[in-house]
Structure 1
Amino acid sequence: MRQALLDCATKLALAHGLAAVSLQAVASAAGVTKGGLFHHFPNKQALIEAVFDGMMENLDREIDEELEKDKGGHGTFTRAYVRTLFADRAQNNSPWSAQTMTVLADPYSKSLWHKWINDRLIRHAATDRGIRLEIVRLAADGAWLAHVLRPDGDPGSDDAALLQELLDITDG
């Protein structure tokens, strides 16, 4: 039941933004009473935090999958990170899109993101240290944010060319 509630909350956020993620809306979408929801989440903030935790776990898993495909060596984490962000852009329906402003404004989300990226950079310090790779990651973040904020139907930049340019920079 807990996962069904999280799935419904994520779908509501994707379809209508975080403002639509009310406890009643999530309970109704999951087919449970509000009391049933309270059994798993004492309040909306706990629900939103659990949604964000799940999204971070998914991001971790996606990056690990990209790491397994990578050639290894210099920039391996950065390439996996960039590829994951660009794959997210191509899907156009990512839960990250719905969560962007939460990450920017919510102390819990900011703290979780900061810890996650720092832990990853420590873990990959042997391959991903240096200002050039940081610039690539920041450029990928900026490209992703520009994509999220772009009006529907606006084609924006050439994603394939931008992705390739960023990946080329990681080689050396």
Structure 2
Amino acid sequence: MSKAHQRRKQPEAVRQQVLEVAARLSLREGPARVTLEAVSQAAGVSKGGLLHHFPSKQALLDGMFDDLVGKFGQAIDEEMARHPAEAGRFTRAYLAVCFSPEHSGESDGWKTLVTELLAEPHLRARWRLWSERQAERHAATDGSVDAELVRFAVDGLWLSQLLDAPGPGPERQRALMDRLIALSRL
């Protein structure tokens, strides 16, 4: 049998491609228009191949959530390793990752996720659980009222940018971020 027509399987690459296509479709056409059929066609993957990775739309949404939140958590952990001062380290890393140019390329994915979070109660529950775990994990170093205030301010600034709402210009944003960093050290 000739191997000329056999394709080497790369399941993780296919899975990642499906997640990226689903996010783009959701952003461009809205979450309601994301169907397994539409994703399989746009990704160039058979429906069976898609179902192998994501047996339902719910599984696909969970996969998108896990992918983005996993990357976010990993980036925070990497950023925390750069901060020698323990007090407020998680909060400063959270701020840095939310506004880092390296992660701005993932903003389409976050726009999609925010849309899905608003529409899907189970994803909101998963986000709340992730947030609670981070608060518990870092309570000793980031449990102060000031650190919590900083994280809420970061969420507001980040969401404002994500939704293209009017916000502070670059100079003002830098001043706000500097102030938030200072608060995280208290």
TM-score, structure 2 normalization: 0.80
SS at match of 2:99: helix
CA separation of 1:140 and 1:89: change in aligned 2, threshold 3 A = farther
Structure 1 contact 77–124 (Cα < 8 Å) conserved? yes
What is aligned with 1:32?
45
Look up the match of 1:141: 155
2:75 to 57, 62, 70: 62
Q: Structure 1 164/20 Cα, relative in aligned 2: closer, same or farther at 3 Å?
A: farther
Counterpart contact for 2:35–2:57, Cα < 8 Å: yes
Measured after TM superposition, the shift of residue 40 of structure 1 is 2.1
Residue 143 (structure 1) shift: 0.9
1:45 aligned onto 2:58: yes
Match of 1:118 in 2: 132
- Amino-acid identity (%): 40
Does residue 1:150 correspond to 2:157, yes or no?
Answer: no
Regions of 4+ moved over 4 Å:
14-17
Q: Would you say the 8 A contact 2:91–2:151 is kept in 1?
A: yes
Post-superposition Cα deviations, 1:74-115, rounded to whole Å, max 9, x if no partner, equal 111111111111226972651112211322331221121111
How far off its partner does 1:8 sit? 2.0
One-letter code aligned to 2:120: D
Tell me how far apart the structure 2 counterparts of residues 100 and 81 of structure 1 sit (CA, whole Å): 17
Equivalent residue pairs, number: 169
Per-residue deviation, residues 136-163 of structure 1 (Å, max 9, x unmatched): 1001111111112225xx5x31332222
Q: Do the aligned partners of residues 103 and 113 (structure 1) sit closer, same or farther apart at CA in structure 2, a change above 3 Å counting?
A: same
How far, CA to CA, are the matches of 1:113 and 1:63 in structure 2?
16
1:132–1:169: 8 Å Cα contact kept in structure 2? yes
Q: Assess if the C-alpha contact under 8 Å between 1:4 and 1:30 holds in 2.
A: yes
Residue among 94, 116, 130 paired with 1:81: 94
Q: Which residue of 2 aligns with 1:168?
A: 182
3-state SS, counterpart of residue 118 of structure 1:
helix
Between the aligned partners of 1:10 and 1:20, the Cα distance in structure 2 is 11
In structure 1, the residue corresponding to 2:86 is in which secondary structure?
coil
TM-score by length of 1: 0.86
Q: Which runs of 5+ in 2 are unaligned?
A: 1-13
